[in-house]
């Protein structure tokens, strides 16, 4: 695989950065993931962190060097990331489960597959046009769908932040997946949070991508978005990838089955220290025993026929 990639996460004017982004690749497969922890909910950054970390780790363990079925992988691991967030919150008796949007894209065999939940987006830009873009799971997008709001008015709509589908919600999120989309040389894939797409029109995004190669275009696009958002700008994060083709490996890209996660932004590294790696911390043996005692107590209280 041959590609150029740039990722960046900025705090904007907020007190903290609740966005998390990462990418990882093996010799034959690549994943990019972007999560925007939801500010209205407690500790959105925890949800975003768990989600991105979970996907990247799942990718690292399964892409050897290819994923068996990329769409299946996205569905299964995003669902499990959601469950991991719920488990984390329950294990710590958090009053409210942290929530996050999520978008991830796998490229394998020259074909892209993506999935999203919420209003973080993926754009596929081809021949100077938006070839594909995810549809937000937001109230305002629903209004666009029924013709009540124009596409251009989305960014300033009062309901812009009302996301009805996210990871960490009480019921299972609906994970929307793409078709398998073969890539062409010159395609650009952009994954971003609403802090980036919100202040920019689709045309601005396309023009920025056309103007320069992705390594320069991305920071420029971030600058524009940050400047336009002004003093109450949201966190903004993006990963941009320019696809150069499936042929001979670029010398820059290690030949080895490297699964190293690269987090270029120092913001992403600030999150270390809250999440334990261990799986078992979701429910300890003591907790299991306690739950069983509690249920047996309730059964006795409800008055059984002496079968206990």
Partner 1 sequence: MPSHNNQPLPDGYQLQGYRIERLLSSGGFSLVYLGADEQGGQVAIKEYLPASLALRQEGDVVPAVPEENLAVFRYGMKCFFEEGRSLARLSHPNVIRVLNFFRANQTVYLVMRYEQGRTLQEDIARNRGALRENYIRRVMTLMLNGLREVHTNKLLHLDLKPANIYVREDDTPVLIDFGAARQMLTESEYSLSPMYTPGYAPPEQYRQRELMGPWSDLYSVGAAMYACLSGQAPPPADQRVQQDRYVPAVEQFSDRYTVQLLETIDWCLQIDHLRRPQSALALQKVLLRERDPAVAGRRTFVAGLRSSLGLLAGRSREL
Chain residues in the site for partner 1 (CB under 8 A): 61, 72, 75-76, 79-80, 83-84, 86-87, 90, 164, 169-172, 174-175, 279-283, 288-289, 291-292, 294-296, 298-299, 301-305, 307-308
Nearer to partner 1, 12 or 173 (CB): 173
CB of 213 to partner 1, least distance (A): 37
CB of 165 to partner 1, least distance (A): 8
Nearer to partner 1, 262 or 283 (CB): 283
CB of 72 to partner 1, least distance (A): 8
CB of 5 to partner 1, least distance (A): 27
For residue 93, CA distances in Å to 97, 150, 265 come to: 9, 42, 31
Nearer to partner 1, 119 or 234 (CB): 119
Question: Is 21:267 a contact under the CB 8 Å cutoff?
Answer: no
Q: At what angle do helices 202-211 and 214-229 cross, to 10 degrees?
A: 150
CB of 201 to partner 1, least distance (A): 28
Nearer to partner 1, 76 or 207 (CB): 76
Residues 279, 274, 137, 86, CA torsion sign: positive
Nearer to partner 1, 210 or 291 (CB): 291
CB of 289 to partner 1, least distance (A): 7
CB of 120 to partner 1, least distance (A): 19
CB of 81 to partner 1, least distance (A): 10
Distance CA 15, CA 19 (A): 12
Burial class (CB in 10 A: 0-12, 13-18, 19+), 277: exposed
| Chain-centre distance for alpha carbon 119 | 10
Q: Could you tell me which residues come within 8 angstroms of residue 228 by beta carbon, excluding any fewer than 6 positions away?
A: 199, 200
Burial class (CB in 10 A: 0-12, 13-18, 19+), 205: buried
Nearer to partner 1, 29 or 62 (CB): 62
Distance CA 59, CA 36 (A): 20
Structure tokens of 74? 């996205």
- Residue 8: what are its φ and ψ, rounded to 5°? -160, 140
Distance CA 38, CA 172 (A): 17
CB of 274 to partner 1, least distance (A): 16
**CB neighbours of residue 227 within 10 Å:** 10
Nearer to partner 1, 248 or 298 (CB): 298
Nearer to partner 1, 185 or 290 (CB): 290
- Residue 10: what are its φ and ψ, rounded to 5°? -125, 150
Nearer to partner 1, 133 or 282 (CB): 282
Distance CA 55, CA 128 (A): 31
């Amino acid at each position: 695989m041959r590609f150029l990639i740039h990722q960046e996460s900025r705090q904007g004017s907020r007190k903290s950065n609740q966005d998390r982004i990462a990418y990882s690749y093996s010799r034959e497969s690549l994943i990019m993931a972007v999560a925007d922890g939801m500010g209205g909910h407690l500790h959105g950054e925890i949800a975003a962190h768990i989600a991105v970390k979970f996907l990247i780790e799942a990718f690292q363990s399964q892409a050897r060097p290819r994923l068996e079925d990329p769409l299946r992988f996205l569905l299964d691991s995003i669902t499990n990331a959601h469950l991991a967030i719920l488990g984390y919150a329950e294990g710590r008796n958090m009053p409210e489960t942290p929530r996050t949007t999520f978008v991830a894209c796998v490229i394998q065999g020259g074909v892209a597959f993506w999935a999203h939940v919420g209003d973080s987006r993926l754009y596929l830009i081809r021949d100077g046009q938006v070839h594909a873009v995810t549809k937000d799971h937001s109230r305002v997008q629903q209004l666009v769908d029924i013709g009540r709001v124009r596409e251009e008015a989305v960014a300033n709509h009062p309901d812009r932040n009302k996301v009805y589908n996210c990871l960490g919600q009480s019921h299972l999120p609906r994970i929307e997946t793409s078709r398998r989309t073969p890539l062409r040389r010159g395609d650009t894939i952009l994954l971003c949070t609403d802090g980036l797409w919100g202040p920019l029109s689709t045309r601005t995004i396309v023009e920025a991508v056309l103007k320069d190669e992705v390594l320069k275009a991305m920071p420029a696009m971030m600058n524009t978005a940050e400047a336009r958002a002004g003093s109450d700008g949201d966190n903004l994060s993006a990963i941009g990838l320019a696809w150069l083709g499936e042929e001979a490996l670029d010398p820059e890209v290690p030949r080895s089955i490297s699964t190293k996660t690269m987090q270029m932004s120092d913001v992403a590294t600030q999150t270390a220290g809250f999440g334990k790696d261990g799986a078992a911390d979701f429910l300890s043996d003591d907790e299991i025993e306690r739950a069983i005692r509690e249920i047996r107590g309730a059964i006795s209280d409800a008055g059984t026929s002496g079968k206990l």
